[in-house]
Amino acid sequence: MRFLYLLLIFLFAFAFACGKQPLPTETLVIGIESAPTSFDPRQATDAVSSRMNGLIYNGLVRLNEKGEIVPDLARSWEILDSRTYRFYLRRGVFFHDGTPLTSGDVRFTFESILDPATSSPHRSTFEKIDRIETPDPLTVTFVMKEPFAPFLVGLTLGIVPEQRTSQSQKALAQAPVGTGPFVLSHREEGDTYSLSANPEYFGSPPKLRKIVFRVIPDNTVRFLEMRKGTVHLLLNGIELDYLPLVRQDPDLRLVSGPGVNYSYIGFNLNDPILKNRTVREAIALAIDRKSIIRYLLKETAHKATGLLSPLNWAYNGRVKTYAYNPAQSRALLDEAGFPDPDGRGPRMRFTLTFKTSQDELRKRITAALQQQLKEVGIGIRIRSYEWGTFYGDIKSGNFQLYTLSWVGVTEPDIYYYIFHSSNIPPHGANRGHYRNPEIDALLEAGRRETDPAKRKEIYGTVQAILAEDLPYVNLWYYDNVAVFSKNLHGFVLDPSGDLFSLKDAWMEK
Amino acid sequence: MFNYIIKRLILLIPVVFGVVTLVFFLVHLIPGDPVEVMLGEQARAADKEMLRHELRLDRPLMEQYRLYLTGLARGDLGRSIHFREPVLTMITRRFPATILLTLAAMFVAILIAIPIGIVSATKQYSLIDNASMFFALLGISMPNFWLGPLLILLFSIQLGWLPVSGMGGVEHLILPSITLGTALAAILTRMTRAGILEVIRQQYIVTARAKGLAEKKVLYKHALKNALIPVITILGLQFGALLSGSIITETIFSWPGIGRLVIQAVNQRDYPLVQGCVLFIALTYVLVNLTTDLLYSAADPRIRIGRGGQA
């Protein structure tokens, strides 16, 4: 018994030692699914890190809610010729450590990304840079090796200060120094990350005193924290089954809006069955996207016509679409030489393996797709793997069908990466081995062309050809869904899912 | 006794070596590539190669294994591939939270199980006995991932007494430790009850009663001590189960322990981190078992270990 008492005393002492103070009301608490991986924008790629870094750092430019490029640290820029971009920096911008922003910092940021020693995942975005010139402290000129239009979007990447990072690259990931409206003030690794307002911010100073990001991995618990009022904002972090409960709760607000995350079914075009375009069209016609969006996605998605969403400046809506039509699908399969052996009976025309991750919603969607394809006589073996294995298989081309999403689709040059024949793995994302010389030529022209109108035309054609060729079945664009406390004001849902609007948001006491 | 402890500690070396070897090859066998996960697929092949080289992943597996062992001998668990931080730092930062949760769960289990077990045994087949055995069955059958949210719904949302998740004061510890400890409590209740029922029929208890001792004294002084020996053994063995169960409980309650770190590390194919975490868990398990064995002999003087007596 004495042992028990000792244990009790020890536990209480230990628990008190770990105790925390209650949060003041000017604090906004955001629930996140996983911890950010890096506070160095040159290293981070995951959504959580990008959202937090978006509040700590500024890029030369940023994307507005329409996906257009607008000034950020650069007050203006000019394109001197198709290979030369000149940026004029804002005056009076200071990093969190008090040093002023200069063109040297900009040059340093991109040169360090290009330095192989940094092993930055963003290096390929900037590899067309030939040199960076800094004629004066507030002017920076990028000279490209060849015309490369997607370059501008890449400049949304956060600018880091030169002095600090030359001392130690690791220091920045640990104690980030940016120019943004918030400063990372406290962190409990893997648990909570607090950002405090930066009163010296060059724009209007933030109204919130503090933003706390809390890692809550469990979907249900994240929602329960929200209901209890201990978390004030969830962005795309809510289980869709809980949406009816959110609507009933007078203390919560629900906002959803179109997003730029695109979901699709990928085909392996080396597969003897799937290389037949008629079969792919039959599969596209057999899928009832409307029902899935309604019953499984709770109306938080919109049917997709291609990678680029209607929000994108280069979007082309006049492409071939495939409305649900099982009868036509069956006819096409017969025509393609795959008759149904026993009519509507249990035997299938052929059976395909469909790979997916272990995400619950994904698995349910795949099961629905399986059912729909069964209706037209296509058997589906579902294989759901833990993420590392699934992704490994997809990358190595070890699949027949799979379903995945492309997130944050803003720059149409993404088509080059996914469908250009030079990007067939191991060196790209053309995982289905799609080859079309016409597409190759258009995509090469698209990245060289700097005139937006001409680019729009090029990518419009690309979208039309791909809708015809069907290397992917377009499923849907996911909406961004935000649930927040009724006390939070001024939060604006951004299509890319960034949190920059929090700079002007406030909490009612 | 001292020699015995030394001997057991020396025996730890092959166990640890076995664990390290097994885990090393297992994590390298699972498909997936940490470099791909980390750099993302947009990265250039040359950059991937460079990182692979930096992380020594381009070397033959046996050489990686040798390097890992050499590092381990120096107390170096390597650096996390994903977080680029020393694994030891990451684990030591997280490990106290896991230990706290596990101990608290154990404490909750003991606190519930032993009194209920005693009452059940002394009032065999009574309503209390039947009810507690029913709840014990329920406790064993209820998975953590279900019990946790249920407790949160009741105590945090409906009643508003306790926080939903996270680590903070004592109030944050209550729900996770009950969630984690319930299954153990159920097992211990049944063990205590069975133990007492067995002991209570022994002749020395009859003798104690014949001496005219009060029933309370017979129970607590004579019966309980002997009945608890198997309970102690089970406690040691179950500590391992609690440690692995904490992975789920930590995820539910956003508890910043090592369990969540393991899940993340496995998903990201962060080899050094997985190896380090598993090594730590295994070591703890082995050490706790050793302690249990020592307690066991202390609780029962009939057991004389290492002296040719009965074990």
pLDDT of residue A5: 54
Task: Confirm or reject contact between B159 and chain A (CB < 8 A).
Answer: no
Same domain, A292 and A362: yes
**Same domain? A136 vs A269:** no
Q: Taking CB atoms and an 8 Å limit, are A121 and B31 in contact across chains? A: no
Confidence of residue B309 (pLDDT cuts 50, 70, 90): very low
The candidate with the shortest Cα–Cα distance to A325, out of A368, A281, A367, is: A281
Q: Which of A214, A224, A386 sits opposite B152 (nearest CB)?
A: A224
Interface of B with A in 168-197 (CB under 8 A): 168-170, 172-173
Q: Which residue type occupies B209?
A: R
Q: Are residues A34 and A103 in the same domain?
A: no
Same domain, A333 and A221: no
Give the lowest-confidence range in A205-209, A425-429, B4-8, B119-123: A425-429
Residues of chain B contacting residue A34, judged by C-beta atoms under 8 Å apart: 264
Are A318 and A408 found together in one domain?
yes
Q: Which tens digits make up the pLDDT trace of B277-305?
A: 888 888 888 888 888 877 777 767 666 55
Most confident of A237-241, B37-41, B102-106: B102-106
Which tops the pLDDT comparison, B31 or A132?
A: A132
- Residue A160 domain-assigned (yes or no): yes
Q: What angle do CA B306, B308, B309 make, to 5 degrees?
A: 95
Whether A127 sits inside 8 A of B44 (CB atoms) is yes
Confidence of residue B42 (pLDDT cuts 50, 70, 90): low
Backbone phi and psi for residue B306, each to the nearest 5 degrees, phi listed first: 70, 5
How many domains does chain A contain in total? 3
Which of A80-84, B30-34, B176-180 shows the lowest per-residue confidence on average (mean pLDDT)?
B30-34
Block residue for tokens 């963003």: A122
Decide which of A126, A143, A174 is a domain's last residue.
A174
Q: Do A205 and A329 belong to one domain?
A: no
What is the residue range of A224's domain? 26-39+176-257+481-507
Residue A48, in any domain of the structure: no
- Determine how β-strand A69-71 pairs with β-strand A61-63: antiparallel
Mean pLDDT of the B158-182 span: 89
Can you tell me the distance from the alpha carbon of A339 to that of A349, in angstroms, rounded to the nearest whole number?
6
Helix axes B170-199, B144-151, angle to 10 degrees: 120
Interface test with B, best of A16, A29, A112, A220 (most B CBs within 10 A): A220
**Residue B307, pLDDT above cutoff 50:** no
Whether B167 sits inside 8 A of A18 (CB atoms) is yes
Chain A, window 178-197: residues with a beta carbon less than 8 angstroms from a chain B beta carbon:
188-192
- Predicted local confidence at residue B310, as pLDDT: 40
Q: Give B244-258 pLDDT, tens digit per residue.
A: 788 889 988 988 888
Query: Count of CB atoms within 10 A of residue B84's CB?
Result: 18
Q: What CATH code is carried by the domain that includes residue A498?
A: 3.40.190.10
DSSP state of B79: B
d(CA B189, CA B116): 6
Same domain for A275 and A419? yes
Backbone phi and psi for residue A193, each to the nearest 5 degrees, phi listed first? -135, 120
A152 lies in some domain: yes
ipTM at complex level: 0.72
Beta-carbon separation of A121 and B84 below 8 A: no
Number of residues assigned to chain B: 311
Cα B32–chain centre separation: 29
pLDDT score for A281? 95
A397: in domain? yes
Residues of B in contact with A399 (CB under 8 A): none
* Residue pair A288/A372 in contact by the 8 Å Cβ criterion: yes
Which of A174, A190, A207 is at the close of a domain? Answer: A174
By Cβ distance, the residue of B30, B97, B163 closest to A389 is B30
Structure tokens at B193: 């009850």
Burial (CB < 10 A; 0-12, 13-18, 19+), residue A185, is middle
Q: What is the DSSP letter of A263?
A: E
Does residue A250 belong to the interface with chain B, where contact is any CB pair within 8 Å?
A: no
The first and second tokens of residue B34, run together, are 């940490």
- Taking CA atoms, what residue in B is nearest to A13? B170
Domain end marker among A155, A174, A193: A174
- Using pLDDT thresholds of 50, 70 and 90, give the confidence band for residue B308: very low
Q: Which of A16, A40, A119, A415 to probe by mutation at the B interface, max B CB count within 10 Å?
A: A119
The predicted pLDDT at position A151 comes to 85
- Domains of chain B with bracketed CATH: 87-310 (1.10.3720.10)
Nearest CA in chain B to A417: B42
Asked whether the beta carbons of B43 and A116 are under 8 A apart, the reply is no
Answer yes or no: do A122 and A231 share one domain: no
Q: Indicate the average pLDDT of chain B.
A: 83
R_g over Cα of chain A:
25
Per-residue pLDDT of chain A (509 residues; tens, 9 = 90+): 455 555 555 555 554 444 444 445 589 999 998 888 888 888 887 788 889 999 999 999 998 877 788 999 999 999 888 889 999 999 989 999 888 999 999 999 999 888 877 777 788 788 889 999 999 999 999 999 988 888 888 899 999 998 654 555 567 777 889 999 999 999 887 789 999 999 889 988 898 999 999 999 888 889 999 988 899 999 988 888 888 889 999 999 999 988 888 999 999 999 999 999 999 999 999 999 999 999 999 889 999 999 999 888 889 989 999 999 999 999 999 999 999 888 777 889 999 999 998 888 889 999 999 999 999 999 999 998 877 788 878 877 889 999 988 888 888 988 998 999 988 877 778 889 999 999 999 999 998 888 889 999 999 999 999 999 999 999 999 999 999 999 999 998 888 888 988 988 998 87
CATH number of the structural domain spanning residue A470: 3.10.105.10
Do A304 and A412 belong to one domain? yes
Q: Which CATH number does the domain housing residue A147 bear?
A: 3.90.76.10
Cβ contact (<8 Å) for A225 and B172? Answer: no
Are A325 and A399 in the same domain? Answer: yes
More confident position, A10 or B62? B62
The SS3 assignment for A351 reads: strand
Whether residue A310 sits in one domain with residue A243: no
Indicate if A246 and A265 belong to the same structural domain.
no
* Helix axes of B127-141 and B170-199: crossing angle, nearest 10 degrees: 120
Determine whether the interchain pair B46/A116 forms a contact, defined as Cβ–Cβ distance below 8 Å.
Answer: yes
pLDDT score for B256? 87
**CA end-to-end span of chain A:** 48
Q: Hey, are the CB atoms on B42 and A121 less than 8 Å from each other?
A: yes
Which chain A residue has the Cα nearest residue B108? A8
A335, part of any domain: yes
